Chain A
Amino acid sequence: MRPTLLIVDDHPGFRSLARKLLEAGGFAVVGEAANGHAAVATARQLRPDVVLLDIQLPDIDGFEVTARLADGEAGPVVVLTSTRDRVDYGERVERSGARGFIPKAELSGAALRAFLGDDQVR
């Protein structure tokens, strides 16, 4: 079964491109969210396997969303993404509890899948 995915980003252009790319890359995109609060609510409702989460959001940032998602039982795998590079955020990515980080320009189905252990691929 294809892993289910929620895409969180405030740019609709990015969401639609990422949906096309990742669906071609073997994911089932079950939802999109344009800000942090919507991301938390949608994730709780849809229970996706993976959340692709932009760090810069108009309300709460991706680190805060990651922390809130980790509060729930059996939270989704969170993978952070950004136009900026990982080094721009220092240790915040490691400390956030997210499974990993992919720069937007390097996003692909394979890159995202690399962060999922075998157990996650149902």
Chain B
Amino acid sequence: MNPRLRLALALATLVAGLANVALLLRAGDDREESLVYLVITIVGVGWSFVGAGLVAWSRRPENRTGALMVAVGLAQLLNGLLFNGVILVRERFAFALWFLLATLPEGVLGHLIAIFPDGRATTRLQRVFIIANYAATVPLALVQLLLVEPGRLGCTDCPNDIFGLGGRDRYGDVVLAVSDLSLAVLTALLLWIVVMRWRHAAEPRRRSLAPVALVGIVLLIVYMTGQTLKAVLPDPPLALEVGFNLAILIALVLWPLAFLAGLARTRLDRSAVGDLAVQLGEALPPGRLEQVLARALHDPTLQLAYWLPDRDAFVDAAGRPVELPAAGGDRAVTILRHDGDPVAAMLHDAALDEDPALVRAVAATARMTIENERLQAEVRAQLEEVRASRARIVEFGDAERRRVERNLHDGAQQRLVSISLALGIARSQVGATSEQEMAVALDDAAAELRLALVELRELARGIHPVILSEAGLGPALVSLAERSPIPVTVTAVPPERLPSRVEETAYYVASEALANAAKHAHATAVSISARRLEGELLVEVGDDGVGGADPDGSGLRGLADRVAALDGQLRVYSPDGKGTRITAELPCGS
């Protein structure tokens, strides 16, 4: 906040307050209420709101609460000046001016309560309330002045028609009834807003709402009790009335301090950081850090998420992925960085954003522990991934065995059955047919037998290609290319033999990619290369097919697991319509 503006506002407030006192003294016996009562109502409440408001404004310039408190105080002081003016000059236009602005302090106060402690309207209901509430100040007063007899508005000296417009209290009853009703509705609406805010508030926000709500409730109870007593007792004793009025005044003067206290409580207790440092000095069991931070920041909903650079994702302490909330909601995120790289994220109530410095201080204090927990979370996430891939590998093996059984059953076994039947037929014909017919039947059986052998060889090669173990990866890839139904170019193969696990994995990457290219991608050409780079074998398979391969489909997933089992990395580039390129980096020692 600009210090000059602050000084100007403070001076204006001081002057307005003193002027009020002077006018009140001058008015002397013309006023109906006691001097003390009026001084407290106008000057006490005005100074209290402006003073507390200026403090709040300087400390939290981004939060509109302070400015609104200043506005409430100034409106009240201005109102007092006009009120005194009316008493002194007893003039109808002076009355009209005062009357127009008389409810402005309540209007601004309603605005203030509706947006506390965020300092801005967050829901549609709040915005609607604020607009309606201002409409019930100056605009409503203008309607009343125009349509209601001034005597009924409190101006006993005024002529029946203040502005000489001729329309005299024709709609007075209706206007006053509507005014009362709208006041009741607005009050109910405001109560609703406050109750809803309390119900939805997390601990930190309740801490700041509590003082304001407490004084507000006291005010409400005292006011309602006073009104009830007035209604019940026909002639209430003066002491009682004065007592209630005084109680209300004290509460009103104290209320700004409650606002200030509420705002201060959103700036949390700095000693929390010290306590935190002590707690972190002792070894924490895994997962406890979250609770400790939640306590330090008074936010039980606080959640810690750790950054895993391998996965480009945040996970919780157990290694499960965590979604960060979108900006602008009830939840906020503070990302903790080390040398510019994210280490962890704290997900917390948005109210804590009021004091980012404290959140950062807490985070900095906990940095070492957070880094430890991050490493643990990383290990757990890896473990989770290993477990999942182990399960997939077992499942894949089972599926493979089922496939082999089905292939045997549908292929070679059927052929052998046919041979058996054909031989059975030949046997039944012995002696009954010519030798020539017998020769045909036996030839048929022999042909079936050759086909059965071919199928068995194919199947055996599918289970394990002999050429791979006998001659190595290069010849095996060339042989794979020769047997492929679509044209395949093998552009590079390693000249030397590699560890068998590496050769096998490289071979399966090529054969699975080739099968996909033929089966799903409708490719017309495929190229395969396997090159030795530093310490690893790089296998690349590219096709010119339709692309759009799903890396999480069972085939590619199985390949990725196989490659991961060698600590390698499988990558699939398969944009729609642009072909597919699959690369595998396989570490092979040395």
Q: What is the interface of chain A, defined by CB distance below 8 A to chain B?
A: 11, 13-14, 17-18, 20-21, 24-25, 83-84, 104-109
Of all chain A residues, the one with the shortest Cβ separation from B421 is: A17
Binds A, one of B145-153, B389-397, B424-432: B424-432
Binds A, one of B35-43, B99-107, B410-418: B410-418
- Judge if B491 is at the interface, Cβ distance under 8 Å: no
Cβ contact within 8 Å between B424 and A108:
yes
Q: Which residues of B contact A105 (CB under 8 A)?
A: 416-417, 420-421
Of all chain B residues, the one with the shortest Cβ separation from A104 is: B417
Query: A24 vs B425: C-alpha distance in the bound complex, in angstroms?
Result: 7
Cβ contact within 8 Å between B418 and A17:
yes
Q: Which residues of B contact A109 (CB under 8 A)?
A: 428
CB distance from A105 to the nearest CB of B (A): 4
Q: Which residues of A contact B428 (CB under 8 A)?
A: 21, 24-25, 108-109
Interface size class of B (residues with CB under 8 A): 10 to 19
Of all chain B residues, the one with the shortest Cβ separation from A84 is: B409
Dominant SS at the B interface?
Answer: helix
Dominant SS at the A interface?
Answer: helix
CB distance from A59 to the nearest CB of B (A): 17
16 pairs from A and B in contact (CB 8 Å cutoff)? A11-B414, A13-B418, A14-B417, A17-B418, A21-B428, A24-B425, A83-B409, A83-B414, A104-B421, A105-B416, A105-B417, A105-B421, A106-B420, A107-B420, A107-B421, A108-B428
Cβ contact within 8 Å between B421 and A18:
yes
Q: B208-240: contact bitstring with A at CB < 8 Å (1 yes, 0 no)?
A: 000000000000000000000000000000000
- Quick one: which of B398-418 are within 8 Å of A by CB? 409, 413-414, 416-418
Q: A17-B422, A105-B417 are in contact. List 10 more A-B contacts (CB 8 A).
A: A13-B418, A14-B417, A21-B424, A21-B425, A83-B409, A83-B413, A83-B417, A104-B417, A104-B420, A108-B424
Q: B481-506: contact bitstring with A at CB < 8 Å (1 yes, 0 no)?
A: 00000000000000000000000000
Of all chain B residues, the one with the shortest Cβ separation from A103 is: B417
Q: Which residues of A contact B429 (CB under 8 A)?
A: 24
* With known contacts A20-B425, A25-B428, A104-B421, A14–B414 Cβ distance under 8 A: yes
Of all chain A residues, the one with the shortest Cβ separation from B420 is: A105
CB distance from B478 to the nearest CB of A (A): 35
CB distance from B450 to the nearest CB of A (A): 16
CB distance from A24 to the nearest CB of B (A): 4
Of all chain B residues, the one with the shortest Cβ separation from A13 is: B418
Q: Which residues of B contact A104 (CB under 8 A)?
A: 417, 420-421
Query: A66 vs B195: C-alpha distance in the bound complex, in angstroms?
Result: 72
Q: Which residues of A contact B425 (CB under 8 A)?
A: 17, 20-21, 24
Interface centre among A24, A105, A108 (most CB of B within 10 A): A105
Query: A108 vs B421: C-alpha distance in the bound complex, in angstroms?
Result: 8
Of all chain A residues, the one with the shortest Cβ separation from B408 is: A83
Query: A2 vs B293: C-alpha distance in the bound complex, in angstroms?
Result: 91
Of all chain A residues, the one with the shortest Cβ separation from B412 is: A83
Q: Which residues of A contact B420 (CB under 8 A)?
A: 104-107
Query: A105 vs B417: C-alpha distance in the bound complex, in angstroms?
Result: 5
Query: A107 vs B414: C-alpha distance in the bound complex, in angstroms?
Result: 13
CB distance from B416 to the nearest CB of A (A): 7
Of all chain B residues, the one with the shortest Cβ separation from A26 is: B428
* With known contacts A24-B428, A25-B428, A14–B421 Cβ distance under 8 A: yes
Interface centre among A83, A106, A107 (most CB of B within 10 A): A83
Q: Which residues of B contact A25 (CB under 8 A)?
A: 428
CB distance from B394 to the nearest CB of A (A): 23
Of all chain A residues, the one with the shortest Cβ separation from B429 is: A24
Interface centre among A14, A21, A106 (most CB of B within 10 A): A21
Q: Which residues of B contact A17 (CB under 8 A)?
A: 418, 421-422, 425
CB distance from A14 to the nearest CB of B (A): 7
8 closest A-B pairs (Cβ-Cβ)?
A17-B421, A105-B420, A104-B417, A24-B428, A83-B413, A21-B425, A20-B425, A21-B424
Of all chain B residues, the one with the shortest Cβ separation from A18 is: B421
